[in-house]
Amino acid sequence: MRGPIEVRGPAAAAIPLVLDSPHSGRDFPADFGAVVSEADLRDGEDSFVDELYAGGPELGAPLLAALWPRTYLDPNRHAGDVDLDLIEGEWPGEYRPSGKAKVGKALIWRTLEDGRPIYAGKLSVEKVQQRIRGFHAPYHAAIQELLNAAHARFGRVYHVNCHSMRAVAGEQSEDGAGSARADFVLGDRDGTSCDPRFTEFVRAALAGMGYCVKVNDPYKGVELVRAYSNPQAGRHSLQIEINKRLYMDEATLQKTSGFATLQKNLSSLLAEIRAFI
């Protein structure tokens, strides 16, 4: 496979805006060792999200993309958020559970959304540590570098953490299986990860395009929003979840005719964000 990450657009932000797409990769590492198919392993993928935000790099905002599948290792988790039920032997490193392990969705996924196990057995401590060193650490180093450089240059930085979500909640979803979701969900960890005026600006801009938008329901933002935000210091992080039905067929993992329209609207949103910041 290629290297684990890619920065699209300028190497350093030309405006105080940085984007990242941690879950749109599908380069499968040779040592995955899963007992389910690659199609099954794309279950957790935020398909094409990195492409949807192509307007960001065009405006001068770098976009960091993870190129490996989220099911192999989820960069939107703390490195210590390991699933002890997946590890053979005693874990010697930092342990910082988020609660995601109970549904098999911690740092390294143990199960698919439908509950099927991804592996035939447990993973060795060394294998887990290799994944952290080779994938998690480079991603987090890169996002920190981009955010720090923009903050140093402009005195502030706005970070948009880019995701997509199922049209309808799955079996293990917090909002209850079968729940229909809004077009967009914005997450600012209940107003703590960015200036609430920024959240409201993005909400109003999307609503003005005709979209149904919810805030912190059901997604509030996870590690990448939490770790690098400090609104008082001019570091603002906002998670944006896009409903997959707007742009793709979830069964076939193919783009639909709505992709081009959504991509254009997101480019307009980013232009409005540039004006706001």
Whole-number average pLDDT of the chain? 95
**CA–CA separation, 70 and 42 (whole Å):** 8
pLDDT at position 181, please?
85
pLDDT at position 172, please?
60
In the predicted structure, residue 63 carries a pLDDT above the cut 60: yes
Q: What is the pLDDT of residues 94-114, one digit of tens each?
A: 999 999 999 999 999 999 998
Comparing CA positions, the residue from 142, 150, 168 lying closest to residue 67 is 142
Q: Does the pTM exceed 0.85?
A: yes
pLDDT at position 3, please?
81
- How far, in Å, are 16, 57, 152, 157, 206 from residue 223 at the CA level? 21, 23, 22, 17, 24
pLDDT at position 150, please?
98
Q: What is the pLDDT of residues 29-51, one digit of tens each?
A: 999 999 999 999 998 999 999 99
What the chain holds in terms of domains, given with CATH numbers, is: 5-75+150-276 (3.40.630.40)
- How far, in Å, are 187, 188, 248 from residue 214 at the CA level? 9, 11, 20
Mean pLDDT of 77-95: 97
Q: What are the phi and psi torsion angles at 199 (to 5°)? A: -55, -45
Residue 232 CB burial class (10 angstroms; 0-12, 13-18, ≥19): exposed
Q: What is the pLDDT of residues 229-248, one digit of tens each?
A: 999 999 999 999 999 999 99
